Amino acid sequence: MSQQGETPAATDDWWNRLYEEPPPPPERPAGSPPPVDGDSLDEHFATATKAVSDGGSNGVPEAAGPPAVPEQQSVRPRAWWEPEPETEPEPEADSGAVRDTGAPPPDAPGAPVPVPAPLPRREPTERPGPATTGRSRPRTAEWVQPPDPRAAPAGAPEVRPGHIGDGPPTYEPEPTALPSADPESLGDPVADTVADGARYGRWTLRAASVRGDSARFRGEHRKDALLTARFGAGDAALVLVAVASGGRGADDAHLAAADACRRVATAVGRAHAGLAEDIRAGRHGVLGAGLHRLAGRGAGPLRAFGPGADTAGLRCLLLLADPLCRTRVSFGTGPGGLFRLRDGIWTDLDPTAGTDPAASTEPAATAEPFRFHAAESLPGDTLLLAGPGFAAPLRGAPGLAGELARRWHPDGPPGLAAFLADVQLRAKGYADDRTAVTVREDPG
């Protein structure tokens, strides 16, 4: 089989052999060359192709017809917001010859008018704005009020004030000057802030001691001492918390306060088994007499301050780890305070002078009355033992007791960091060391 456009050979008569009777030859127009042997469809195709390429120069005139009329396109007027149509650049001339594209010139009559392509329409909700990089939220036609940067985000913890009253205290809330140190006694200085905590049985302990604003400003030592200790193991364990306050104006008051805590802790540790048994059995009279003697020995170094002895004191708590025992014991001498928070109401538990159950058993009375309290706590109670610098504003500063009652809600005890922030809640006119110990009873 020959390829399309190839002139077949005269002997290539497979077409005639396939069809026994070849069809009659088609009528030829006048003036066309006579058929030759081996005329076929391919030869007709080659003849027509040659005639078209020669432009009809084989003696066959082209049929004259009406001129071609280009297809009319609808012309839409340009809107005011549409840009001017861009014109295509003219092609460069090649050796001075004009290239024939086969299309009429633009200024010829009947030439089509180019119509610019319509611009993409914006969505109704889209508003133009400066380009941004990275992730950006879509801008809409609806105005959205930006969030207030001062407002706390949803789910953020409650912002607690750092002071109560009409205005802030005189001193700054953070440490300013460090106490002076002796190169020969580097173990004497105490830290600005200490905190401790524990949980046994049905109660949770929180304790913290913070240097006062006045001592921070003057570079003085924290005169309050805080000691927590556990004696024994298991349900028979006895926990002691001691808070001692040195005399105001004494240079070595912090040393005397720490010595007083160690003295009473040593005495309690040696007799912890008998003390735990007396607390569990409810023998309050025996406890009062024994603890009075312990407090007298422990507070001995604090009585040597002379003019500052009125601010020196030792207050302690005894707590059993046994979950079946809810008796809480407090004892000590000197200033400070013991308070109970129950159902959002504070109660001052410090007994008045003359109510000491062991006063008649102590031969040598001290300048400060001995304070003893032993009672069972109820679920949800909070027992607070405060040093003099924290008990004074709790009794005298309006709003402090109510703010602490709101913070120490019955849902659960505060964390150690939150409790430390609560102890640092300041009141104008109170700049002494702040020491507080709380025992939070489980609700159930």
Tell me the pLDDT tens digit for each residue of 13-56: 655 565 555 556 666 666 666 655 555 666 666 766 676 665 54
pLDDT at 350: 86
pLDDT averaged over the chain? 74
User: Residue 201 phi/psi, 5° resolution?
Assistant: 55, -115
pLDDT at 355: 39
Residue 198 banded pLDDT, cuts 50, 70, 90: very high
Distances (CA, A) of 47 to 30, 169, 197: 16, 115, 111
Report the alpha-carbon distance of residue 306 to residue 22 in Å, rounded: 148
Integer distance in angstroms from the first to the last C-alpha of the chain?
A: 106
Fill in the amino acid letter for 434: R
Residue 89 banded pLDDT, cuts 50, 70, 90: low
Per the DSSP assignment, residues forming a β-bridge with 227 are: 242
Of 191, 181, 196, nearest to 211 (Cα)? 191
pLDDT at 366: 44
pLDDT at 137: 46
Q: Pick the most confident of 100-114, 197-211, 395-409.
A: 197-211
Of 349, 347, 341, nearest to 404 (Cα)? 341
- Per the confidence metrics, is the pTM higher than 0.75? no
Report the alpha-carbon distance of residue 400 to residue 394 in Å, rounded: 6
In this prediction, residues 112-127 reach a mean pLDDT of: 55
Buried b (16+ CB within 10 A) or exposed e, 287-319: bbbbbbbbbbebbebbbebeebbebbbbbbbbb
Residue 162 vs residue 141, higher pLDDT: 162
Fill in the amino acid letter for 319: L
Of 421, 422, 430, 423, nearest to 398 (Cα)? 430
Residue 217 banded pLDDT, cuts 50, 70, 90: confident
Instruction: Kindly report, residue by residue over 228-253, the tens digit of the pLDDT.
Output: 999 999 999 999 999 998 877 677 88
Report the alpha-carbon distance of residue 435 to residue 432 in Å, rounded: 10
Distances (CA, A) of 348 to 198, 352, 391, 400, 411: 24, 11, 10, 14, 23
pLDDT at 219: 84
Residue 152 vs residue 336, higher pLDDT: 336
| DSSP letter, residue 353 | T
Give the CB-side neighbour count of residue 6, counting CA atoms within 13 A: 8
Instruction: Kindly report, residue by residue over 274-322, the tens digit of the pLDDT.
Output: 999 999 999 999 999 999 998 888 777 776 655 455 567 899 999 999 9
* Residue 241 CB neighbour total at 10 angstroms: 23
In this prediction, residues 352-366 reach a mean pLDDT of: 40
Residue 312 vs residue 2, higher pLDDT: 312
